[in-house]
């Protein structure tokens, strides 16, 4: 018997790690990975809540989230490639032509 | 819930997603035509197809409005509210496509994907306004977001364009994750993702704290999308880097759709505790947006700040009582769409190849070089200021009067002061156009037909909303009734 | 009751003349302009005479209502004219002397550019002056009051290319305005407390409600306030202390103007107004005292300045101020009719003095400095003789006109206070002295001017002579004025001699309906109480008269001594007096004092404190600073947009934390 | 008890992987840690009875998506992360914000979400049931995802594909 | 004929004829001469039509006449409600009177972008008239704001060197102030569901507004601030000199002649009409500001080296009289205030035209650049002096009647008001005559000025009407006052109590 809140806290931790990653990582790809981490955290919540409510729809959501994540990954990585082509760097701190 | 028992959707339910279907079909047609044509011819043909698609979607929307009701097992709900936003989104799409003709040629952008993405993006936006289920909303949101991420980076050879794209993409995904987490918590709190069910649960008794957190996180995600402070920081950068017609598109249509979602979540789902949250966010958005714009010299960036401010004005309506606030907000989205699309249409025309001419200085003497264009831009700017006889005026008017009916005097004071301060930077553009001589030779090509039509539509819409706002507002009021029922 | 006298025509006729000349005169010949001006002015005079002839058969006082003017709520002021003995006298003086001066001016101004303009202004002046004296309410009077100021402004500045003339015109207008300020406030008080400005209404109310409006002996009350304020107005218009400064400068105008406006008519408007308001003054002894003191001091003060002036017109100007002081003294001792009497005789002899002076100036080509005149007696005999009559009149030698009126004033003043009388007599001595000084310097001795200046015919007579000049003059040395100028001189000389012969008592009798009908119980009581004393002092009057004549004779002697017998003496006296002499010669530095006290502080203060200080440094800078501050804030808000993605995420995270915290707080409340 | 133990073990692995993702400087290491996280999450899903999800997690997420990541990392030859100091805001406001926010959420999750506990495999999610749901109640979202995927494809083509002129992209603006 | 149809349509006609003219002008080819003539025809036509108002006006009736009231926008409940009383009617006529003169005076001085200029001018006229005839608060605000743009453009495009600064300053000052009014209007609408002036007034008088006690002071201020900036009242006046100096002549004429009156009209109609209690309690400091404005404006005017700036500051001073009169709450004060508005419109409008004529010849407003102009330009000098005298407040000219009534009203309300206000009479003589002296008298100091041409026919045509109006208004003010008086009486009805109290003191 695992209290549900454990799952939820775990998901929260993952989400928080993702946020932290976004804040501290410099490499665009790693930042993107942090986002994936956040999504994974959310997915865990969905599944946990699905278990709590006894509704399978929660699991369906996870499926959709994955699809979206996949699509995002494809697009996101393409964008990253495009950025790399024009800037020849993946450091976000240097991707700052647009400011003020 | 008629869908629970049945196995396949009925025909009428397809009508309820007809505009989306139409848009998708035309998007696919474009994709298929693209490889069949050579580069030069495809530009116009594909644009024409896209335009037809958008117009067909408008027709479909009108047709659809005859068949209100729920479809696909409670996933979509066609009511006057959704029809309103469908119409808005498709109309904006059509205008943006018209605007893009010339831009594509000047900037040498590949047309197939461009128009396709616009149409597909419009699918997402349309769906957002009619979806009544959080997961569908999420997917629709992603469709519109991802397509705009891509469109923002369409000027691939320009470093700023891809930077804009990557910033938009990363921050957008970041915010989407928040939204999604909110959905999850909401699901956890209520056991459902259907807005109707959530609304029932939340309306009955004290909602659980989890629901509050869920709302908070969803608000963060959606607030980001509409560029409400403090989630607005991406806006200026992205707008500056993205292609001008696309900025016109993404500052209006997706925003309108997200506002529709926000309205549904806050009002239809009876989200608790919104008042002071919105109060602060609205005040902050107005103030930061206007103040930030004061010293901008890049017109695109200026309009980006202005869109932050306008998000703030719009949010004022959300703090008001639903019966007044919703119609006010809807009216605001409509008039904002009209004027902002128009303004960006002018900007994209003047930008010229490589978007070289986008600073204030480049607008100097425009009133002399191209009086009609300058006059049109002036109309949009005046509307953005909120001068009577333009849509922008009535939009602010309704919003503020709705807020006053809810006794939000402080917020209204902040709002009107902001709109006065905001006048300054719009006025600067007008001043530069009419009262300053050009220091350098900035070429202004004649306005092509497509752009002309687009400008005419936007201008007429802006003026129409400013002179005879009654019908639109009446419709919006009816929609609000539908939403709150 | 007479259906209508068409009193309105009297002021209107000159107005028509002014309009005709003003609008069309540019295309008229000089003859035509002169004809128009004289015709309309003369017509007014004729009407005035006609009315005077019928006067005994008229129901006096007579009000003639013409048209409504201003109405606001219950307040109203109309175009309505009022005829009684007082206004009849004034009307006759104004139209009569005015007409004569018009005639004179035709000759005097013949060669000037802007001939039509001059006569248009002059007729305009007549219009306003007649409106002033015929008005039936204070507001209409105020029209005339301001209007004559305007005409004076225009005429002083007639030679507008001369900076001094333009400045003098402006000064006159503004100083008059300061006086008018007091007048206006008085009107407001009247409106507030009486609801009307009609003489009949106001005076009627006061007389009928003597309990409500008692004689304010105990302390200053409403009527005292009104009286004092009216006196401020009168002091402005009639050049009394401390507002006299404009009148000497006004001599920049053409001499007929000085004669008409700044001697005979306009400047006496203040006296007329005080006399007209006697109902108020009678009940405000304190105000009366102020009037008397101001009058006395002005008389003395101006006379002392007059001694040292070298400009012939300036002497006359200070003399005018001084004589006006006499009139105020008369009013101040409630001897209104004496004041009016002196007003009339003064109009004759002072008008004459100016015209004669003009003739002198005309004769020697525009020179006004007496030190450069002398010995003109033989060159211009007609002028000399008329001038002599006038000089004796003003000096107060019997049987000239000035004697009768001045004597009456001094006598009445002595009844109130011997101080008034003493100063009055001393002033009479001074008057006599400086007038004879002028007389000797101008007409006797050797001619001291240079011949060439007369050849060039003066700086101000800039425009050349034209065809149709009535008498050849201007280029052949000193010459007598043409007939058209001499005839008015002659008439006025006759009047200066005989004008006083009607006698002060008969004059007082004539005006009695005006001044005694409202005589207060207080004054009546006073007079009856002292009736015996007065008869006892009957013979005293003769003594007083003798003293004042002696004073005048002494003045004559002294003038002869200093300026005829021993011409080097004045300089020595001047040296002996040193600073005091300079102070007097420079008009006690009053103009400079005013400049330092008022003009400069106001101009400098307005420039540096108000305009640059408040407007630019405080208000505009505050606004610019706040705009600047807004830009600074804007700049810092911009810096939220550092361009760094992680910073953006930081803002989002912070915002999210805030939103979450708020919502949790909401949820757990 | 076993249930809890497994949860704790894989939970710890999961968190460790997440933290490792943060501390690793080379993106490839981060990607590998992410795969660890995903895999251990798949176990947690199984514990919750979500068999289908667990499988998909491994196949799509850990498999397809992460492969894509690794591929791109390789393609771009991304090197070690430089520790540039680009953002004070993220440190001064972002991290505290994150801590406060997640602390609050954690508090809510622990204190306010009830004392539910779940058995292992509490809600079995067999593919058939899931499929039924997916093609009925969630038919529309499912179909709509096709548009999403289409967009993704187009986007990838447009952005990552060679530029129209064929040559290497020039820098502009 | 005075038919009912015409009566209800006349205000619409007057308001929108210029607008229609502007639209037609849009279609005109760019032949400057034709455009000018057309603009003149339109404006003269408007003036002609507007004369219908005073001719058939029922003088004795206090309420609104020529009313038209049809729904415009159902939500919010906006009506196209227009009507004039004795107060607003004259301001309409003033506007239509000045516009043809503006056209005439701009005939030659505007030679670039002529079409746009006249379009803006005509739009401006419509907006100005609209402000005065609107009886629906919304409609009022609509026109109120609508005046802003054409004026800002007129200043900014056709102005002089620092035109951009002036245009922005003008716009921002008035814009920021008027949003407070918008907020107040919105509040009223939120509470009452109507914008109708009469309905709101009735509701307020019957005490049917909840939360009125707490809100009224703020609402009063909201309206007042907007009007005060427009007037402009003392501390917020600095936009005016800049705007005037930079504006083209026609802009200055309309600005001083009509635009400023929007502020005082608003105070009269709305501050007094809707908030009698608040007007009463706020009067002391408002009057203080007005008095400061009178004296301050005059003093600063006196030391201005720039002719137009001088006239601008004199406007501040004159408008101070208007505010003083309005907040004296006396019949005479308000009558006078109205009359000063009209008189100031005519005479200051004329002064600006005169300054503009000079500028056309010499391209400067600096007083030191002139001197002795009466010699080369006698006719001009005569007109100038006439108008200066009118402006100084010489009896029998238009300036006097109003100032006198205002001051007597103010004096009646409280002595010190009248006394301080009356000092303005002195000051106005000082600065105007001094300026006149420096410009026209003395010798010609600059050789360029020796050959300046005098007025031509067109300029005389533009100036004569103002001169005649100045004279007629001074001699026969009753023509105006007998319509103003009942309206003012009506406006003062709620103050009757106050008036009797003051008189009793």
Instruction: Identify all chain C residues contacting E412, using CB atoms and an 8 Å cutoff.
Output: 188, 191-192
Rg value, chain A, Cα? 17
Does residue B15 sit at the C interface (CB-CB below 8 Å)?
A: no
pLDDT in tens, E360-379: 888 888 888 888 888 888 88
How remote is the C-alpha of E285 from its chain's centroid? 23
Rounded to the nearest 5 percent, the helix, strand and coil shares of chain B are: 80, 0, 20
- The HSE-up count of residue B419 (CA atoms within 13 Å, CB side) is 35
Q: Report the pLDDT value the prediction gives residue B8, as an integer from 0 to 100.
A: 78
Average pLDDT over residues C541-547: 82
- Chain A contact for B182 (CB, 8 A cutoff): no
- Mean per-residue pLDDT over chain E, rounded: 86
How sure is the predictor about B31, in pLDDT bands with cuts at 50, 70 and 90?
confident
State which residue of chain C sits closest to A92, comparing Cα positions: C645
Band (D122; pLDDT cuts 50, 70, 90): low
Which chain B residues are closer than 8 Å to A33 by Cβ? none
> In degrees rounded to 5, what are phi and psi of residue E63?
-75, -170
Q: Is C636 left (phi over 0), alpha (psi -120 to 50) or beta?
A: alpha
Q: What pLDDT sits at residue B331?
A: 92
Q: How confident is the model at residue B21, as a pLDDT?
A: 92
pLDDT at position D90, please?
79
pLDDT computed for residue B259 by the predictor: 92
Res. C354: pLDDT tops 80? yes
* Residue C200: both structure tokens together: 């009949």
For residue C446, what pLDDT band results from cuts at 50, 70 and 90?
A: confident
Cβ(E409)–Cβ(E330) below 8 Å: yes
Query: Is the pLDDT assigned to residue C653 strictly greater than 50?
Result: yes
Q: How many CA atoms lie within 13 A of E276 on its CB side?
A: 18
* CA distances for B444 relative to B151, B364, B438, D173, angstroms: 25, 12, 12, 20
Chain D residue numbers touching A9 (CB-CB < 8 A): 106, 109-110
Instruction: Label the pairing between strands C62-72 and C75-83.
Output: antiparallel
pLDDT at D85: 74
**Full residue range of the structural domain in which residue A70 is found:** 4-94
* For residue B408, pLDDT beyond 50: yes
Interface residue D106 vs chain C (CB under 8 A): no
Q: Are residues D127 and D76 in the same domain?
A: no
Q: Is the pLDDT of residue D172 over 80?
A: no
CB contact under 8 A, E186 and B470: no
Best of C632, C635, C649 to mutate (most A CBs within 10 Å, chain A): C649
pLDDT of the residue at C459: 40
Residue B78, SS3 per DSSP: strand
**What mean pLDDT is predicted for residues E381-400?**
88
User: What number of C-beta contacts closer than 8 Å exist between A and C?
Assistant: 32
Q: CB E152 to CB B427 under 8 A?
A: yes
CATH number assigned to the domain comprising residue D13: 1.20.120.1200
Contact criterion met (CB < 8 Å) for B233 and C652: yes
Give the pLDDT band of residue C399 (cuts 50, 70, 90).
confident
3-class secondary structure, A90: coil
Q: How many domains in chain D?
A: 2
Domain final residue, candidates D23, D51, D80: D80
Instruction: Pull the structure tokens for residue C225.
Output: 């306030």
pLDDT digits (tens, 9 = 90+) for E331-359: 888 889 999 999 999 999 999 999 888 88
Q: What is the pLDDT of residue D173?
A: 38
pLDDT in tens, B263-308: 888 888 777 777 888 899 999 999 989 988 888 888 899 999 999 9
CB contact under 8 A, B220 and C658: no
The answer to whether residue A65 is domain-embedded is yes
Residue D46 lies in a domain: yes
On whether residue A45 sits in a domain, the answer given is yes
Contact yes or no for C295/C325 (Cβ under 8 A): yes
- Are residue D54 and residue D128 in the same domain, yes or no? no
Touching check for A98 and chain C: CB below 8 Å? Answer: yes
d(CA C39, CA E363): 45
Q: Count of CB atoms within 10 A of residue B172's CB? A: 25
Q: Write down the mean pLDDT value for chain D.
A: 81
The mean per-residue pLDDT over the stretch E91-113 comes to: 88
Q: Considering only CB atoms, which chain B residues are within 8 Å of C634?
A: 291-295
User: Quick one: closest CA in A to C647, which residue?
Assistant: A23
Q: Which of B233, B236, B272 lies nearest to residue C666, judging by beta carbons?
A: B272
Query: What was the pLDDT predicted at C241?
Result: 81
pLDDT in tens, D50-108: 888 888 888 888 888 888 888 888 888 877 777 777 677 778 888 888 888 888 888 88
Domain that holds residue D6: 1-80
- For residues E55-62, average pLDDT: 83
* pLDDT value for C538: 67
Q: Which of A2, A80, A86 sits opposite D118 (nearest CB)?
A: A2
Residue D119: the pLDDT is 65
Chains C and A touch (3+ CB pairs under 8 A): yes
Does the beta carbon of C641 lie under 8 angstroms from any beta carbon of chain A? yes
User: What is the tens place of the pLDDT at every residue in A74-93?
Assistant: 999 888 888 888 888 888 88
* Interface probe with E: pick from C24, C72, C187, most Cβ of E within 10 Å: C72
Share of chain C above pLDDT 70, in %: 91
Q: Answer with the one of D80, D113, D147 that is the final residue of a domain.
A: D80
pLDDT by residue (tens digit) across B454-476? 999 999 999 999 888 888 888 89
Whether residue D92 lies within 8 A of chain C, CB to CB, comes out as yes
Chains that touch C (3 or more CB pairs under 8 A): A, B, D, E
CB contact under 8 A, A23 and C646: yes
- Whether A83 maps to a domain, the answer reads yes
Residue of D69, D84, D160 with shortest CB distance to A29 = D69
Q: Range with the lowest mean pLDDT among C357-361, C579-583, D68-72?
A: C579-583
| The two structure tokens encoding residue E167 | 């245009």
Place of tokens 């369906």: A60
Residue C203 has pLDDT above 90, yes or no: no
CA dist B452 → B45, B457, C445, E400 (Å): 18, 9, 99, 57
How far off is chain C from A67, nearest CA to CA, in Å? 24
Decide: B220 and C655 in contact? Cβ < 8 Å: yes
pLDDT of residue B285: 92
Instruction: Report the residue of C627, C631, C650, C663 to disrupt the B interface, i.e. the one with the largest count of B CBs within 10 Å.
Output: C663
A82, part of any domain: yes
Q: Which run of H or of E encompasses C107?
A: helix C85-108
Identify the residue with better confidence: B117 or E445: B117
Q: Report the distance separating Cα C269 and Cα D153, nearest Å.
A: 102
pLDDT at residue B364 tops 50: yes
Residue C449: CB partners within 8 Å, gap ≥ 6?
Answer: C364, C367, C372, C373, C374
Per the domain annotation, does A100 fall within a domain?
no
- On whether the CB atoms of residues E389 and E435 are closer than 8 A, the answer is no
pLDDT value for C405: 86
Chain D residue with Cα closest to C656 = D101
**Per-residue pLDDT at B40 exceeds 50:** yes
Contact A95 C645 (CB under 8 A): yes
- Please indicate, yes or no, if residue D102 is contained in any of the structural domains: no
Q: What confidence tier does B377 reach under pLDDT thresholds 50, 70, 90?
A: very high
- Say if D113 falls within a structural domain: no
Does the residue D163 lie in any domain?
Answer: yes
* D2 lies in the same domain as D70: yes
pLDDT higher than threshold 70 for residue D162: no
Residues in chain A: 100
pLDDT in tens, E301-326: 888 888 888 999 889 999 999 999 99
Evaluate whether chains E and A are touching (3 or more beta carbon pairs less than 8 Å apart).
no
Q: What is the pTM of this model?
A: 0.86
Which residue would you say has higher pLDDT here, B437 or C91? C91
pLDDT of residue C62: 83
Contact E164 B401 (CB under 8 A): no
Q: Does B387 touch chain E (CB under 8 A)?
A: yes
Residue B15 structure tokens: 């009508």
Whose tokens are 């006038």? That residue is C390
Tell me whether chains C and B touch (3+ CB pairs under 8 A): yes
pLDDT band at D114 (very low <50, low <70, confident <90, very high): low
Structure tokens at B39: 């580069």
CATH code of residue A44: 1.10.287.3510
D96 in any annotated domain: no
- The reply to whether residue D106 touches residue A63, judged by beta carbons under 8 angstroms, is no
What are the residues whose beta carbons fall under 8 Å from the beta carbon of E424, sequence distance 6 or more?
E294, E295, E298, E317, E320, E321, E403
Query: According to the model, what pLDDT value does residue E55 have?
Result: 87
Of D87, D109, D159, the CB nearest to A78: D159
B473–chain E Cβ distance below 8 A for any pair = yes
> Higher-confidence residue: E28 or B380?
B380
Please tell me whether residue D170 adopts helix, strand or coil conformation. Answer: coil
Q: C667 and B208 in contact by Cβ < 8 A?
A: yes
Mutate to test the interface with A, among D112, D122, D137, D144 (most CBs of A within 10 A): D122
Query: Does a structural domain hold residue D114?
Result: no
- Which of B116, B154, B158 faces D173 most closely, judged by CB atoms? B158
Chain D CB within 8 Å of residue B62 CB: no
Closest-CA residue to C298 (of C401, C151, C437, C430):
C430
Q: Which of B159, B170, B180 lies closest to A42 in CB terms?
A: B180
Tell whether C650 lies on the interface with D, counting CB pairs under 8 A: yes
What's the average model confidence in pLDDT over E95-123? 87
What's the average model confidence in pLDDT over C307-316? 84
Best of B150, B182, B194, B212 to disrupt the D interface (most D CBs within 10 Å) is B150
**Best CA proximity match to E393, nearest among B418, B355, C173:** C173
DSSP classification of residue B10 = -
Count the domains in chain A: 1
Task: Give domain status of residue D107, yes or no.
Answer: no
Identify from B149, B233, B288 which residue to disrupt to test chain C contact, counting C C-beta atoms within 10 A and taking the largest count. Answer: B233
For residues C235 and C269, give the distance between their C-alpha atoms in angstroms, rounded to a whole number: 10
Q: How far is B120 from chain D (nearest CA, A)?
A: 7
Read off the pLDDT band of A42 (50, 70, 90). Answer: very high
C642: chain D residues, CB-CB within 8 Å: 87, 89
Distance from CA of A30 to the nearest CA of B (A): 11
Please determine, for the modelled complex, whether the ipTM score is greater than 0.85.
Answer: yes
Mean pLDDT of chain C: 81
Would A99 be classed as within a structural domain? no
Q: Do chains E and D touch (3 or more CB pairs under 8 A)?
A: no
C539: Cβ contacts below 8 Å, ≥ 6 apart: none
Least confident range of B248-262, B353-367, E288-302 = B353-367
pLDDT score of B458 = 93
Hey, which residues 196-235 in chain E have their CB within 8 Å of chain C?
Answer: 235
The verdict on C67 touching B (C-beta cutoff 8 Å) is no
* Contact state of C653 with A97 under an 8 Å Cβ cutoff: no
Is E72 a residue whose pLDDT tops 60? yes
pLDDT at B57: 94
Residue A78 lies in a domain: yes
- Is B122:B50 a contact under the CB 8 Å cutoff? no
């Amino acid at each position: 018997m695992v209290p549900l809140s454990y799952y939820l806290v775990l998901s929260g931790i993952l989400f928080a790690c993702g946020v932290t990653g976004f804040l501290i990582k410099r490499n665009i790809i790693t930042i993107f990975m942090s986002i994936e981490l956040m999504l994974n955290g959310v997915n865990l919540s969905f599944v946990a809540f699905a278990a709590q409510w006894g509704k399978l729809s929660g699991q369906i959501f996870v499926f959709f989230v994955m699809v979206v994540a996949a699509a995002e990954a494809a697009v996101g990585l393409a964008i990253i490639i495009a950025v790399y082509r024009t800037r020849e760097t993946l450091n976000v701190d240097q991707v700052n032509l647009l400011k003020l | 819930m008629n869908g629970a028992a049945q196995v396949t959707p009925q025909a009428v339910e397809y009508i309820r997603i007809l505009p989306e279907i139409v848009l998708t079909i035309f998007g696919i047609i474009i994709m298929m035509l693209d490889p069949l044509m050579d580069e030069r011819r495809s530009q116009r043909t594909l644009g024409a197809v896209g335009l037809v698609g958008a117009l067909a979607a408008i027709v479909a929307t009108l047709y659809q409005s005859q068949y209100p009701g729920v479809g696909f097992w409670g996933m979509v709900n066609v009511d006057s509210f959704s029809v309103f936003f469908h119409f808005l989104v498709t109309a904006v799409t059509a205008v943006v496509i018209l605007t893009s003709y010339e831009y594509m040629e000047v900037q040498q952008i590949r047309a197939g994907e461009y128009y396709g993405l616009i149409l597909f993006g419009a699918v997402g936006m349309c769906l957002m306004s009619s979806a009544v289920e959080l997961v569908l909303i999420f997917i629709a949101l992603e469709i519109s977001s991802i397509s705009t991420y891509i469109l923002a980076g369409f000027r691939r050879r320009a470093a700023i364009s891809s930077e804009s794209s990557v910033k938009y993409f990363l921050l957008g995904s970041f915010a989407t994750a928040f939204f999604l987490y909110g959905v999850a918590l909401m699901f956890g709190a209520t056991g459902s993702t259907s807005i109707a069910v959530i609304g029932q649960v939340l309306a009955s008794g004290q909602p659980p704290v989890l629901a509050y957190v869920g709302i908070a996180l969803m608000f963060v995600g959606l607030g980001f999308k509409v560029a409400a402070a403090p989630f607005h920081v991406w806006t200026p950068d992205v707008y500056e880097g993205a292609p001008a017609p696309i900025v016109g598109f993404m500052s209006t249509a997706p925003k309108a759709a997200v506002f529709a979602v926000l309205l549904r979540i806050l009002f239809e789902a009876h989200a608790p505790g919104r008042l002071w949250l919105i109060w602060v966010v609205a005040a902050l958005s107005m103030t930061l947006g206007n103040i930030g714009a004061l010293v901008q010299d890049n017109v695109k960036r200026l309009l980006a700040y202005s869109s932050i401010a306008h998000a703030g004005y719009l949010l004022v309506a959300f703090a008001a009582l639903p019966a007044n606030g919703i119609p006010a907000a809807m009216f605001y989205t409509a008039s904002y769409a009209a004027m902002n699309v128009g303004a960006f249409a002018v900007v994209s025309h003047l930008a010229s190849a490589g978007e070289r001419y986008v600073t204030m200085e480049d607008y100097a003497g425009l009133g002399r070089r191209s009086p009609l264009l300058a006059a049109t831009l002036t109309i949009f700017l005046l509307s953005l200021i909120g001068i009577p006889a333009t849509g922008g005026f009535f939009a602010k008017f309704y919003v503020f009067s709705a807020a006053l009916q809810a006794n939000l005097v402080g917020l209204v004071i902040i709002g009107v002061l902001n709109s006065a301060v905001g006048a300054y930077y719009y006025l600067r553009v007008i001043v530069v156009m009419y009262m300053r001589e050009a220091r350098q030779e900035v070429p202004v090509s004649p306005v092509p037909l497509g752009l002309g039509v687009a400008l005419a539509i936007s201008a007429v819409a802006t003026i129409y909303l400013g002179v005879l706002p009654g019908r639109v507002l009446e419709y919006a009021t009816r929609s609000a009734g539908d939403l709150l029922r | 009751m007479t259906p209508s006298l068409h009193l309105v025509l009297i002021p209107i006729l000159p107005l028509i003349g002014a309009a005709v000349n003003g609008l069309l005169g540019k295309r008229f010949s000089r003859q035509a302009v002169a004809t128009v001006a004289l015709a309309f002015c003369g017509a007014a005079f004729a009407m005035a005479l006609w009315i005077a002839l019928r006067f005994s058969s008229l129901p006096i006082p007579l009000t003639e209502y013409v048209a409504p003017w201003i109405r606001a709520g219950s307040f109203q002021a109309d175009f309505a004219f009022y005829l009684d003995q007082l206004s009849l006298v004034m009307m006759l003086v104004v139209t009569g002397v005015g007409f004569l001066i018009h005639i004179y001016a035709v000759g005097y101004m013949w060669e000037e550019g802007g001939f039509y303009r001059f006569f248009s202004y002059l007729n305009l002046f007549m219009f306003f002056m007649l409106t002033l004296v015929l008005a039936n309410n204070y507001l209409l009077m105020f029209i005339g009051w301001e209007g004559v100021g305007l005409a004076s402004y225009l005429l002083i500045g007639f030679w507008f290319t001369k900076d001094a003339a333009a400045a003098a015109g402006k000064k006159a207008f503004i100083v008059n305005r300061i006086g008018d300020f007091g007048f206006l406030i008085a009107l407001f008080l009247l409106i507030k407390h009486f609801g009307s400005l009609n003489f009949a209404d106001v005076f009627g109310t006061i007389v009928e409600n003597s309990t409500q409006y008692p004689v304010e002996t105990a302390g200053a009350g409403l009527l005292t306030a009104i009286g004092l304020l009216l006196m401020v107005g009168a002091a402005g218009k009639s050049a009394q202390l401390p507002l006299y400064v404009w009148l000497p400068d006004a001599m920049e105008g053409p001499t007929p103007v000085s004669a008409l406006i700044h001697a005979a008519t306009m400047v006496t408007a203040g006296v007329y107004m005080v006399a007209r308001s006697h109902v108020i003054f009678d009940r405000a002894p304190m105000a009366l005292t102020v009037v008397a003191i101001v009058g006395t001091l002005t008389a003395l003060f101006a006379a002392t300045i007059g001694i040292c002036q070298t400009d012939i017109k300036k002497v006359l100007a200070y003399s005018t101020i001084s004589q006006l002081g006499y009139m105020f003294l008369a009013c101040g001792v409630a001897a209104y009719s004496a004041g009016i009497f002196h007003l009339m005789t003064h109009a004759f002899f002072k008008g004459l003095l100016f015209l004669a002076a003009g003739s002198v100036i005309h004769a020697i080509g525009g020179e006004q400095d007496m030190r450069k005149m002398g010995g003109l007696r033989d060159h211009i005999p007609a002028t000399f003789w008329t001038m002599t009559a006038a000089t004796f009149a003003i000096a107060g030698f019997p049987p000239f006109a000035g004697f009768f009126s001045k004597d009456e004033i001094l006598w009445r003043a002595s009844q109130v206070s011997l101080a008034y009388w003493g100063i009055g007599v001393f002033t009479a001595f001074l008057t006599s002295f400086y007038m004879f000084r002028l007389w000797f310097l101008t007409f006797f001795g050797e001619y001291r001017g240079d011949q060439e200046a007369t050849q060039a015919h003066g700086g101000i007579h800039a425009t050349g002579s034209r065809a149709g000049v009535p008498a050849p003059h201007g280029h052949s040395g000193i010459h007598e004025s043409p007939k058209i100028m001499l005839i008015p001189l002659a008439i006025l000389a006759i009047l200066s001699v005989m004008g006083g012969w009607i006698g002060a008592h008969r004059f007082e009798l004539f005006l009695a309906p005006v001044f005694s009908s409202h005589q207060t119980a207080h004054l009546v009581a006073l007079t009856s109480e002292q009736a015996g004393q007065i008869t006892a002092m009957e013979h005293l009057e003769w003594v007083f008269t003798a003293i004042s004549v002696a004073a005048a004779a002494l003045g004559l002697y002294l003038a002869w001594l200093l300026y005829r017998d021993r011409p080097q003496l004045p300089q020595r006296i001047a040296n002996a007096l040193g600073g005091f002499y300079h102070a007097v010669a420079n008009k006690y530095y009053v103009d400079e004092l005013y400049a330092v006290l008022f003009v400069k502080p106001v101009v400098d203060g307005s420039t540096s404190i108000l305009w640059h200080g408040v407007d630019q440094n405080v208000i505009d800078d505050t606004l610019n600073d706040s705009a600047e501050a807004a830009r600074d804030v804007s700049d810092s808000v911009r810096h939220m947009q550092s361009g760094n993605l992680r910073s953006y995420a930081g803002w989002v995270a912070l915002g999210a934390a805030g939103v979450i915290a708020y919502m949790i707080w909401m949820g757990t409340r | 008890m076993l249930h809890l133990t497994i949860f704790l073990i894989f939970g710890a692995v999961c968190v460790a992987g997440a933290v490792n993702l943060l501390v690793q400087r080379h993106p490839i290491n981060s990607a590998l840690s992410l795969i660890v996280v995903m895999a251990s999450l798949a176990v947690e899903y199984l514990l919750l009875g979500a068999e289908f999800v667990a499988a998909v997690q491994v196949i799509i997420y850990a498999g397809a998506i992460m492969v894509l990541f690794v591929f791109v990392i390789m393609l771009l030859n991304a090197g070690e992360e430089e520790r540039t100091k680009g953002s004070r805001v993220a440190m001064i406001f972002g991290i505290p914000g994150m801590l406060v926010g997640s602390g609050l959420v954690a508090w809510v999750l622990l204190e306010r979400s009830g004392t539910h506990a779940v058995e292992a495999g509490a809600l079995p999610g067999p593919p058939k049931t899931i499929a039924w749901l997916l093609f009925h109640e969630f038919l529309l979202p499912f179909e709509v995802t096709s548009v999403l995927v289409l967009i993704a494809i187009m986007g990838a083509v447009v952005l990552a594909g060679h530029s129209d002129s064929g040559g290497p992209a020039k820098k502009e603006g | 004929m005075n038919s009912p149809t015409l009566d209800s349509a006349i205000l619409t006609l007057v308001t929108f004829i210029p607008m229609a003219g502007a639209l037609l002008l849009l279609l005109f080819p760019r032949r400057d001469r034709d455009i000018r003539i057309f603009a003149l025809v339109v404006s003269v036509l408007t003036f002609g039509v507007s004369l219908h108002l005073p001719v058939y006006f029922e003088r004795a009736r206090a309420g609104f006449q020529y009313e038209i009231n049809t729904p415009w926008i159902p939500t919010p409940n906006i009506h196209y409600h227009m009507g004039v009383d004795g107060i607003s009617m004259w301001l309409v006529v003033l506007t239509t009177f000045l516009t043809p003169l503006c056209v005439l005076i701009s005939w030659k001085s505007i030679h670039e972008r002529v079409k746009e200029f006249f379009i803006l001018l005509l739009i401006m006229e419509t907006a100005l008239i609209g402000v005065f005839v609107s009886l629906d608060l919304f409609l009022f605000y609509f026109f109120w704001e609508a005046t802003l743009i054409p004026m800002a453009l007129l200043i900014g495009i056709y102005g002089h060197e620092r035109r951009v600064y002036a245009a922005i300053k003008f716009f921002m000052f008035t814009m920021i102030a008027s949003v407070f009014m918008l907020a107040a209007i919105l509040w009223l609408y939120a509470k009452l569901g109507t914008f109708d002036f009469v309905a709101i007034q009735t509701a307020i008088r019957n005490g049917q507004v909840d939360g009125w006690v707490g809100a009224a002071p703020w609402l009063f201020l909201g309206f007042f601030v907007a009007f005060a900036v427009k007037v402009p009242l003392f501390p917020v006046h600095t936009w005016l000199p800049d705007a005037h100096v930079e504006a083209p002549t026609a802009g200055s004429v309309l600005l001083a002649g009509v635009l400023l009156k929007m502020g005082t009209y608003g105070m009269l109609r709305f501050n007094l009409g809707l908030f009698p209690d608040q007007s009463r309690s706020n009067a002391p400091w408002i009057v203080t500001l007005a008095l400061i404005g009178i004296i301050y404006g005059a003093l600063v005017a006196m030391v201005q080296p720039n002719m137009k700036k001088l006239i601008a500051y004199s406007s501040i001073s004159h408008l101070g009289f208007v505010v003083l009169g309005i907040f004296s709450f006396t019949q005479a004060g308000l009558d006078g205030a109205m009359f000063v508005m009209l008189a100031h419109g005519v005479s200051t409008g004329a002064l600006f035209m005169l300054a503009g004529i000079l500028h056309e010849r010499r391209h400067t407003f600096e007083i030191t650049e002139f001197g002795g102009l009466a010699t080369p330009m006698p006719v001009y000098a005569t007109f100038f002096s006439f108008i200066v005298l009118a402006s100084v407040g010489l009896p029998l000219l238009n300036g006097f009647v109003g100032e006198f009534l205002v001051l007597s009203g103010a004096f009646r309300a409280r002595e010190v008001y009248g006394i301080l206000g009356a000092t303005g009479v002195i000051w106005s003589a000082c600065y105007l005559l001094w300026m006149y002296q420096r410009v026209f008298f003395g010798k010609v100091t600059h050789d360029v000025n020796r050959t300046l041409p005098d007025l031509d026919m067109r300029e005389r045509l533009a100036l004569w009407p103002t001169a005649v109006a100045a004279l007629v208004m001074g001699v026969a003010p009753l023509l105006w006052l007998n319509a103003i008086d009942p309206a003012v009486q009506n406006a003062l009805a709620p103050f009757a109590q106050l008036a009797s109290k003051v008189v009793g003191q």
